[in-house]
Chains A and B, each alone.
Chain A
Amino acid sequence: MNPLLEREKGLLELERRIEDLRSANEGQRIDMSTEIASLESKYRQLLAEVFGSLSPWEKVHMARHPRRPTTLDYIAGLDAFDELHGDRMFRDDPAIVGGFARLGGHSIVAIGQQRGRDMKENLARNFGMSTPEGYRKGERLALLAQRFNLPLVTFVDTKGADPGILSEEHAQSEAIAASLEVFAALQVPTLCIIIGEGGSGGALALAIADRVLMLEHSVYSVASPEGCAAILWGDASKADEAAAHLKLTAADLRGFGIVDEVIPEPLGGAHRDPAATVTRVLDRIGAVLDILESFSLPALLDARYEKYRRLGSWRESVAGSEGAT
């Protein structure tokens, strides 16, 4: 159970009472606008209390919120979308969707990870966890963008790669490694948005880009907090503790230079106003594409190389003087 849903209950109750009073107030002789105003102020106070400062673990739940907009919600907001299917080898992975699209003045290729919005869809889409066929589909569509000379936009929203027996047999490592190679040197402008959860190598397979944008309450992590807790302490239930350590929030990652821009969310999170969130994200995509289009391709590729070349944190001593061995 997502603990945020529990905390949102009080808010939803207040929303309902305000709505009831409003409709009762219409056509009534007794004016209840003072009561309504007081309830509304209480509502705003509670909203700020619940969502004003989220812990990293609460942000993980925000990123996984069942009503948070998913890739298909953003795709629905595009001016046109022509879906393309399959890896040309084995199957069409429903955990990754992609195709040609139009946004504002831009013709683009869009690829995104798609989790389910309910249990049925989650089962169909493997909870947004791609298999090797999904990465090969993504790689194929990325190369298609290059072939058509169109910018590439990716939406990242996955707990991570599918940890299954078939995925290993179908060379999961190779599929992700090959995708990284293609994205690192793709000969068109690339833009990535972390819209929900960015989990591990499964997320990175679609996330090497000239610009990486991230929604305010999304998370992006070397491993899911559950996975990290299991790896380090053999206990997945210590995920909240792992989340606190991992520095996985948008603000943290902006600080490291891993994320280029943080897109603010409505107070209470993207799911409280999905339409506004989708509009805001698509606006930013259009604006950033305009910027990327102003660079020459060699400049773009050099800048992409340098951006990733710099990432990391180490200290430098004069070679050999440390005697650390």
Chain B
Amino acid sequence: MPMADWLRGGRNREKVRDDAAQWVKCPSCGEVLYRPDLSANLDVCARCSHHFRMRAHDRILSLIDGDFEEIARGVLPADPLSWSDKKSYPQKLAADAAKSGMDEAVLCGFGSIGGYELALGVMDFHFRGGTMGSVVGERLTRLIEAATERGLPCVVFTASGGARMEEGMLALMQMAKTTAAVVRLKASGQPFITVLTDPTTGGVSASFAFQADVILAERNAMIGFAGRRVIEQTIRQRLPDRFQTAEFLLERGHIDGVLDRSNLKSTLERLLGYARAGMQRRKRAELSA
């Protein structure tokens, strides 16, 4: 569907809020930022370059050329464990939906970046902390399978607190399910690229996030398996501030690169270009064989 319709169906980001809500304080440098300016600057602080957590809709708009064909939108959460603590799981889901404008923690679909067609999945931390339950696993699996079928590269932006506790083992099994789909995508010759954004942890970091052919991260993103608090409680000492940052992981050799958000689109275009060049070589070899 045309991007404009898709947006209207999605989050109404131009909705006028009260004046106070138009101003945001940068948690890093304290600068007070005018929200429309911040949005125009890809949710990056103009003064200190702090990268705010981006909403999935905004991310897609910032990357995709024209239309975005969303898939698996009808896959919606159930309550397999009939979970209830202070609130029931469906109540938590409804509260997050109202707050975030998302109906789950990932958006998936097809579009183009700089003329390169691709399958794109974008996780959103604002819905249940980006946790992976059955819907995140199912939507991403459908995306990866569709990319394999259509013969397109797949790019996934991660943002996740890990597996979703309220879906128990069914949430853990999404790691296995997405992995199996990634293995088939890679075996088909299509590239798999992930961009790790703040934060990427637990069951998401320990599955598809780190299974990509190329793994990029946004600057200063927190990335790790065990959460900082858990490690600190285990070893009974404070961790250094840089521990588990994108820059730390780059130094340790865990990821391919750390990028400013402003460079992401152009970098992805070039990577998709290399991938296409390789595919064309393969086709030529097949033709001459």
Contacts and interface: CB of A to CB of B under 8 A. Distances in A.
A317 B167 CA distance: 20
B203 interface: yes
Interface stretch (A81-89, A96-104, A303-311): A303-311
A325 interface: yes
A247 B172 CA distance: 12
A177 B135 contact: no
A114 interface: no
Contacts of A322: 73-74, 76, 103
A309 B184 CA distance: 12
A180 B172 contact: no
Contacts of A50: none
Range class of the A interface residue count: 35 or more
Interface string A136-168: 000000000000000000000000010111011
Interface residues of B, number: 72
B182 A181 contact: yes
Given A201-B202, A315-B77, A230 B231 contact: no
B74 A168 contact: no
Contacts of B177: 308-309, 311-312
A127 to B, nearest CB: 11
Contacts of B78: 313-315
Q: Is the interface of A mostly helix, strand, loop or mixed?
A: helix
A322 B72 CA distance: 12
Nearest to A176: B206
Contacts of B226: 161, 163-164, 167-168, 172
Contacts of A178: 210-211
A223 B163 contact: yes
Interface string B253-283: 1100000000000000000000000000000
A223 B161 CA distance: 13
B202 A168 contact: no
Contact of A325 (B77, B101, B168): B101
B80 interface: yes
B75 interface: yes
A222 interface: yes
A254 B252 CA distance: 41
B74 A222 contact: no
B208 A169 contact: no
Contacts of B103: 322, 324-325
A215 interface: no
Contacts of B180: 184-185, 304-305, 308-309
A314 B75 contact: yes
A184 B178 CA distance: 10
A169 B177 CA distance: 27
Nearest to B182: A181
Contact of A180 (B70, B101, B169, B207): B207
A88 B223 CA distance: 26
Interface of B: 9-11, 70-78, 80-81, 83, 85, 97, 101-103, 133-135, 137-138, 141, 162-163, 165, 167-177, 179-184, 187, 202-203, 205-211, 223-227, 229-231, 234-235, 239, 243-244, 252-254
Interface of A: 161, 163-165, 167-169, 171-174, 176-178, 180-181, 184-185, 200-201, 204, 208, 220-223, 227-228, 230-233, 241-242, 245-248, 252-253, 256, 258, 304-305, 308-309, 311-325
15 contacts: A164-B234, A172-B226, A176-B225, A201-B225, A246-B81, A247-B169, A258-B169, A304-B180, A311-B170, A311-B173, A312-B135, A312-B173, A312-B174, A320-B74, A324-B97
Closest 9 CB pairs of A and B: A312-B134, A324-B103, A313-B80, A177-B210, A176-B206, A173-B205, A163-B226, A172-B225, A311-B173
